[in-house]
Amino acid sequence: MHSLKKCFCLKKTRHLLETHDTLSSETCFTVNDVEALYVLYKRLSSSIIDDGHIHKEEFLQAIFSCSDRQNLFADRLFDLFDLKRNGIIEFGEFVRSLSIFHPKAPEEDKITFAFRVYDLKNTGYIERDELKDMVLAILQELKLTLPNDVVEEIVHKTIQEADLNGDGRIDPHEWMELVARYPSLIKNMTLPYLEEVTALFPCFVMTSKVRDSELVCGK
């Protein structure tokens, strides 16, 4: 029975390492970075509901410290991290989504993600009302209040400048053109510290005490 339990644990460890290797190959993170993020993920996923998954309350509390209040911008980010749309963020989703914010991530990926943040209805366009809702949400997060006519003017001028074909909304191509003129629109899509995850959080790096030769049962 002890041998069977040991075999299961070693197989589980081997599978985990393979998963980390796969995530590293698919993202901007090194294997060590992924291991550090795994420890961080475990901490976040047990902060409120200890079930091994990050729920919306845990995500909002960790990222925005606002689990007890509504915030459209925060909710939208959670929805985009939740790639399977099952109400939780799994580890693979966590790593792949964070990778977009890595300094070495392709700019096109950052532009696309930022567009999806504003495309609240998932129609493939940024509508006027969606843009206004996001402007208000960002102001709320910054604890700023502007008169409604000022907000309307911001929205109007943005649509006016970005809407090249005159249909009253912003499509992905128009968004890309707008970002080319105003790169600061995706400034928040890069988090410099993600390039040094293990350096900033050395305690997150896991060091296995299992020798490589022990990872296969029967050896």
Q: Tokens 């590293």 sit at which residue?
A: 24
Enter the pTM of the model: 0.80
Please report, to the nearest 10 degrees, the dihedral formed by the alpha carbons of residues 122, 125, 126, 130 taken in order.
Answer: -40
At 186 the pLDDT is: 94
* pLDDT bucket at 195, cuts 50 / 70 / 90: confident
Higher-confidence residue: 70 or 122?
A: 122
Residues 118 and 93 in one domain: no
Q: Does some domain include residue 213?
A: no
Res 205: pLDDT: 41
d(CA 202, CA 170): 43
Q: Is the pLDDT of residue 37 over 80?
A: yes
Structural domain harbouring 124? 107-189
Judgement on whether residues 125 and 174 belong to the same structural domain of the protein: yes
Same domain, 80 and 138: no
Tell me, rounded to whole angstroms, the distance of Cα 110 from its chain centroid: 11
> Has residue 135 been placed in a domain?
yes
